[in-house]
Every structure is written in structure tokens, then in C-alpha cells.
Amino acid sequence: MGIFTGLFKSRDKPSDSTVGSGYRFLMGGTTSGKSVTERSAMQMTAVHSCVRILSEAVASLPLHLYKQTETSKEKAIDHPLYLLLHDEPNPEMTSFVFRETLMTHLLLWGNAYAQIIRNGKGEVIGLYPLMPNRMGVDRDKNGALYYIYTVTTGDAMKGNQVKLHSSEVLHIPGLGFDGLVGYSPIAMAKNAIGMAIACEEYGAKFFANGAAPSGVLEHPGTLKDPVRIRESWQQTFGGSSNSHKVAVLEEGMKYTPISISPEQAQFLETRKFQINEIARIFRVPPHMVGDLEKSSFSNIEQQSLEFVKYTLDPWVLRIEQSMIRSLLTKEEKKKYFIKFNVDGLLRGDYQSRMNGYATGRQNGWMSANDIRELENLDRIPKSEGGDLYLINGNMLPLKDAGAYANKTTKGEEENKNEEVLEVEESNSDKSKDTGGSAGENPVPKWHNR
């Protein structure tokens, strides 16, 4: 243990956590000249859309605590943690709002924190989300992790801090370099988001200036007050409400535009690309943020299934394992586990589901009640065969192929004897008619003549 203690002591503390300004070296200024923070990024429609899609998708999934039995699993409804995760983590919010908040923190700050409230028995009785930008992560002299949270009133920092033990914090880290704290996707992609903000601001100013390119007012002589003329021009023709007005120039003045048009600058193409760039950061299909250019009826369902498999599943698994690690005791981990149900999102269209159910029913691995539960229908009573598993009678194991050809039942043996007796009687009658004995070939009548 001394070796491991020394190892923990020698490791650098996770200084890249989200405490105060320790994270700000990744935020702030960008090459586009626009400052990017978590809050300013959410003013971008593409960022807001991606964060909302992912957070609402995770929050809408059913979350259950299961107990592992000898043969299967069952919902641990009697466990006090079940109600917290499924319905109400604290008296102030529902499970949906709680998980939506944690997922939003993960997408913007790269970390999600929640304070764990326990009773005298050590049971979890409450979960309260904590703001990631007020949380710090550090190690004590023994190498154990602890958390420092800055208490605030509204937006004003009080300055007093609360030290929390690692057992008192549910910490869900995002993608990071040390496995302890995650890095903000917004901070890591700040240049792409900053460029999108710059493009949006350019478009807004373009229309604010009357949707006309800027230029130069040329005068053949010397002006005594050029500032007054510029301001008069801006007041008369500036702004979208003054666009397309007819300008009257006096004293030989001439207007020469010097800016290129938005089409020449590929303004619209740049904005569209930046939307796809932001969707790529969060791994959200473009059609889910309103870009249907490369989507069709034939591939949009497949893109939705890939969204669940490659986008939601990693986030869901990250949350599940963090909850199991922090909320269950060592003994409970042996028989309990926490699981999101994503089956509803993986369901195909009605015809595809019915074909799949028919295959499962005919091959004996689904009963009528199994199918009805997946379709949210009432169960058929067991006495009426709702739990029966059926299989086609003409299907046999390969090793039994041809076995029935060598087996005869008692009834089949009696039928066979009766058939033989009938054949013998038939041959006897034929022998009498032809004058021969049974078993001899009868002589044709024309031969006797």
C-alpha cells in the first residue's frame, strides 16, 4: 500500500478542472476575434440545438435500478435508490429535469456533479446538481480525491467554499486526458464556434447597414466637414429599414462601393458549413439540427439508429457506470445495477416490428406476452396461453433427421398388419377368378381359346 500511496502523491493534481479560472486557458479569445464561453456558445442556434437534442434524449430514457436474480433480472422497486433515479432525486426537481441538467453540464463544461445526501444508515436519500464552473478537484496529502465547491448567492460569489469527500459527490467526467476530469467540448472546439459566431454577426451587421455594401463617397473638391457628411449618409441610408432608397448626390459627389457581396464571399456556404461543423463536434446527425440536404426517406431512419448507437450509447454508458460507482455500496454492486432502457429509440417502423415479432414468435423465443409488453399492451392471462412459447412442428434437430422412418408406434403397427391382410385377401380373390393360386400369374382367357 505504501507504493500506491507514493504513486498517488507523485501524480499531479487535476489542475485542468473547472474551478474558477483554472479552465479559462481553453476558453476566451479565438482566431476569429470572438470570445467563446459556455454561455456565449449557447446563443448559437446550432450549439443550442445539439445540446438540447442530447440532453432531452438522455433525460427521456427510462432509468431503472435492477436486481440480478439466479435466472434473470427484475426491477428493484423496494430499494430506496429506485425512486430517486426513476422519479424524484430531490424535492425540487423531477428525474427528467435532473438528468437533463447533468447532461447539459457534460456537454458544455465536460463534467457533471451532484451532491449525494445520505441518512444515518448510509443510504442515498437525495441528489442535488452542482454547477461545474464552481467545482474544483484536488488530492490531499494521502492521495485521496476531494472536491471544493464555491457557494454562491445568485450570480455573486460569496467566497466561502465547502469541502466535499469523494463519497459525497456523484461525478460524471467527460472526455479528458487523466480520467479524473473531462474537458469541455465547447473549449476544445472554440475556434469553430467562434467562426460561426463571427459569421452570424457579419450577417446581422450586413442587414443592419441596409443590406448594401459599404463604400467611399468621392468629392471633386475639398470637404470642410467630412464627418458630418458621413453621418448624414449613414442616418439616411443605413439600417434595413432604409435599404433600397434612392440616393441624391450633389456637388459632383460619387459613391464607389469597395466591399464584395456576400455571394462572392460565400457567406451562406460558410454559415452552412459551420452548422455541420458544430453538429460534428457533438456527433449529432445534420438532419436533427434542420439540415436535410443529404437526408432522404430511405436513409433518415438508419441515421436515427446510428445516432442511438454511436452518439447516445457512449453517453448513457458513461452515466450508468458513474452512478453505479458512486451510489451503490460494495456489497450492492454484486447484485444491483443501474440501466437506461434505449429499446424504445431502436424500434423500427410498424411493419418492420411486426415482421420481427412474427419471426420471434414462430421460432419459439418470444411469447404473446413478450410481444405485447414491447408494444405497451395488456398481458394475456397465463391460463389463456399468453406465456406459451410455440415452434413449428416440421422443424427437427439435425441429429434426429430420418429418425421417424425407423420408429413405428403401436397404432402404426396395427394399421400395417391390417394393410397386409387386405392385400393377401385381394390376391386370393384374384386367384379364384383366374383359376390360379395366389402368387401365380393368372392365365389370360384368350390363351385357353
Q: Verify that 185 and 48 share a domain, yes or no.
A: yes
Domain count, the chain: 3
Q: Verify that 81 and 128 share a domain, yes or no.
A: yes
- The residue among 203, 231, 258 that closes a domain is 258
Q: Verify that 67 and 144 share a domain, yes or no.
A: yes
Degrees, nearest 5: CA angle 69-75-77: 120
Is residue 283 one of the residues assigned to a domain? Answer: no
Q: Verify that 96 and 178 share a domain, yes or no.
A: yes
Q: Verify that 142 and 181 share a domain, yes or no.
A: yes
Residues 6+ apart with CB under 8 A from 51: 42, 104, 107, 108, 282
Is residue 201 one of the residues assigned to a domain? Answer: no
Give the pLDDT band (50/70/90) at residue 91.
Answer: very high
Q: Verify that 128 and 21 share a domain, yes or no.
A: yes
Residues 6+ apart with CB under 8 A from 49: 284, 288, 289, 290
Is residue 206 one of the residues assigned to a domain? Answer: no
Predicted TM-score (pTM) of this structure: 0.68
- What average pLDDT does the segment 137-162 reach? 78
- What average pLDDT does the segment 310-338 reach? 93
Instruction: Identify whether the C-beta of residue 432 lies closer than 8 Å to the C-beta of residue 442.
Output: no
Q: Verify that 83 and 230 share a domain, yes or no.
A: no
**DSSP secondary structure letters along 229-265:** HHHHHHHHH-SGGGTTPPP---TT-EEEE-SPPTTTT
Q: Verify that 6 and 139 share a domain, yes or no.
A: yes
Strands (E) in 142-292, as ranges, are 145-153, 156-165, 169-173, 215-218, 254-257
Is residue 218 one of the residues assigned to a domain? Answer: yes
Q: Verify that 136 and 247 share a domain, yes or no.
A: no
Least confidently predicted of 43-52, 122-131, 268-277, 404-413 = 404-413
Is residue 348 one of the residues assigned to a domain? Answer: no
Q: Could you read off the pLDDT of 285-316 as tens digits, one per residue?
A: 888 887 777 666 667 777 778 888 889 999 99
- The residue among 294, 325, 356 that closes a domain is 325
Q: Verify that 310 and 418 share a domain, yes or no.
A: no
Q: For the chain, what percent of residues have pLDDT higher than 90?
A: 26
Give the residue numbers spanning the domain of 50: 2-190+305-325
Q: Verify that 23 and 162 share a domain, yes or no.
A: yes
Q: Could you read off the pLDDT of 14-57 as tens digits, one per residue?
A: 444 444 334 444 666 666 667 788 888 888 888 999 999 999 99
pLDDT value at residue 240? 53
| 199 φ, ψ (degrees, to nearest 5) | -65, -40
Q: Could you read off the pLDDT of 272-290 as tens digits, one per residue?
A: 778 888 888 899 988 888 7
Q: Verify that 166 and 29 share a domain, yes or no.
A: yes
**What is the per-residue burial (b if ≥16 Cβ within 10 Å, else e) of 170-197?**
bbbbbebeeebbbbbbbbebbebbbbbb
